[in-house]
Amino acid sequence: MSVHITGSEAETSALGREFAARVGPGAVVLLDGPLGAGKTAFVRGLAEGLGGSGDAVSSPTFTIVQEYRGPVLLQHVDLYRLSPAEVDDLALEDLMEDSVLAVEWPDRWRRAPSDAILITIAHEGGDHRRITISG
């Protein structure tokens, strides 16, 4: 487990870029934290670190899954608006094979893999965030 404190959205994205060196196709990254915590900013950096463009990264709250192409495919999933039963029907396991799967609001995914990496982002006041990486 590692704990990081960031002081801006840019620093949160930079941590995502650095983290990308730890993952490859088949990795599942669970992003937990309240609305506005910086989950999408972290994914923006993750996309850049995997060789894609961070400019296209936005919260997939309404589309549920967004795909970012680069040398490593990144699937960005937002389960905020779904119930656990609806998530079961998504077959997220099918997205894991050839990509990095980043899942926001993972508490709704009852079948998340036990070897997934958990990123917990908490507000620390102002623009500061405490980001804990487990797994």
The lowest-confidence range among 3-12, 16-25, 28-37, 93-102 is 93-102
Per-residue model confidence (pLDDT) at position 135: 86
Q: Tell me the C-alpha to C-alpha distance, in Å, between residue 50 and each of 24, 42, 84, 87.
A: 8, 12, 29, 26
Output the CATH code of domain 35-134: 3.40.50.300
Going by DSSP bridges, is the β-strand pair 65-68/73-78 parallel, antiparallel, or unpaired?
A: antiparallel
If you search the block for the tokens 């917990």, which residue do you land on? 120
Let me know how long the chain is.
135
Per-residue model confidence (pLDDT) at position 61: 65
Proportion of the chain in helix, strand, coil states, percent, rounded to 5: 25, 30, 45
How would you classify residue 80: left for phi > 0, otherwise alpha for psi between -120 and 50, otherwise beta?
alpha
Domain residue extents for the chain: 35-134
Per-residue model confidence (pLDDT) at position 97: 82
**pLDDT 10s digits, 48-63:** 999 998 877 877 666 7
Contact 29, 23 (CB under 8 A): yes
Average pLDDT, the chain: 92
Residue 13 has pLDDT above 90, yes or no: yes
Per-residue model confidence (pLDDT) at position 57: 84
Closest CA to 47 of 79, 28, 75: 75
**pLDDT 10s digits, 23-80:** 999 999 999 999 989 999 999 999 999 999 887 787 766 678 889 899 999 999 999 9
Residue 19 has pLDDT above 70, yes or no: yes
